[in-house]
Amino acid sequence: MSEVTSFAERTKASLRETLLEAATGLLAEHGQAGLRMADVAAAAGVSRQTVYNEFGNKTALVEAIALRTTAEFLDGIRTRFESAADLLAGIHRAVVYTIEHGREHQLVSAALTTRAGEDLLPLLTTKGAPVLAAASELGATHYREIEPRLDQPAAELLAETVTRLVLSHLVLPTHSATEAAGLVCAAVAPLIDHHLSTME
């Protein structure tokens, strides 16, 4: 790869990140219905056409923001698993992080608590398939790294169950993050024990 090509790719990545950062703030403030490509362009200091060239339309921009936000959470979850003593401890730490970070995160918090952000809530619920898939896939990978006795189907089932429970606690916050993590672990511990016993 030439230096010119490498520079061009870095510049494009930097532009995309700048646009996503600007759009995230506006999306949290105004919701999807109130998000305008012209406002994103103005906040990023570029032309409106530049935003359209990068994302095509508002729907694609919002999807890109959702995937970027999901990636941020997955990085945090990965870190929690890397230092966990065992599978259940890793799940507990990941759940606490996800709920605490979700309640503090600009975009997620807006979706959960503001009128403007109400139209973002489906990204975590009825239109949350990409988030569910990404989190479940990463979870299954971590589960098998920590507990190699789990086969792939068992790890995938466990990861999807945990992800669905976490999303439920995030959307309907009736417990602290630590309490929610305890409830999630209590729910999945028998599943883990069952699958491990059948593998012996």
Residue 94 token pair: 């990941």
Count of CB atoms situated within 10 Å of the CB of 112 = 19
Residue 80 identity (one-letter amino acid): R
Do 21 and 59 touch, CB atoms closer than 8 A?
no
Q: Are 45 and 80 in contact (CB under 8 A)?
A: no
pLDDT tens column, 123-135: 888 888 888 898 9
Res 2 pLDDT > 60: no
Distance between CA atoms of residues 144 and 7, nearest Å: 38
Which domains are assigned to the chain? 3-199 (1.10.357.10)
pLDDT tens per residue, range 32-80: 999 999 999 999 999 999 999 999 999 999 989 988 998 899 999 999 9
